[in-house]
Amino acid sequence: MNCPKCSEQELSSQGLRGIEVDRCSQCQGVWFDEAELGRLIDDQAVGGRSLGGRDSGLDRHPGQCPRDGTALLRVYSKWNRSVVLDRCPECRGVWLDGGEFQRLNP
């Protein structure tokens, strides 16, 4: 799968607390398949440093779902309304730009 924001950069798999997520080594964004993000946020033992990253400046850049190519929708996070997530309306996956996971999971 390619990064929805960097387009040509391939995502690499990373295991975290039994959940496999996909991460871009260039912009530090992370792709979560449906329900994966909720499971990590609900797990009090996980720390934000595990998926840390710098703000890539790509937050306002529209992206396409790495799974099915559908245009991602920008929605406010239910965990922290100052974070705008990119969500696929088809497969319900979620993209977090670099640095956003830490803001969701202080």
pLDDT tens per residue, range 7-39:
789 999 999 888 999 999 999 999 999 999 988
Q: What separation in angstroms does the CA of 65 have from each of 39, 50, 103, 105?
A: 20, 23, 22, 23
- Paired with 42 in beta bridges are none
pTM: 0.82
Domain total in the chain: 1
- 59-104 confidence digits (pLDDT tens): 667 789 999 999 999 998 888 888 889 999 999 999 999 888 888 8
Q: Estimate to the nearest angstrom the gap between the alpha carbon of 104 and the chain centroid.
A: 11
Q: Does residue 27 form part of some domain?
A: yes
Q: Does residue 1 form part of some domain?
A: no
Q: Does residue 16 form part of some domain?
A: yes
Q: Does residue 53 form part of some domain?
A: yes
Instruction: Provide the domain limits for residue 58.
Output: 12-104
Q: Please, are residues 4 and 32 in contact by the beta-carbon 8 Å criterion?
A: no
Q: Does residue 2 form part of some domain?
A: no
Cα(37)–Cα(47) distance, rounded to whole angstroms? 13
Q: Does residue 61 form part of some domain?
A: yes
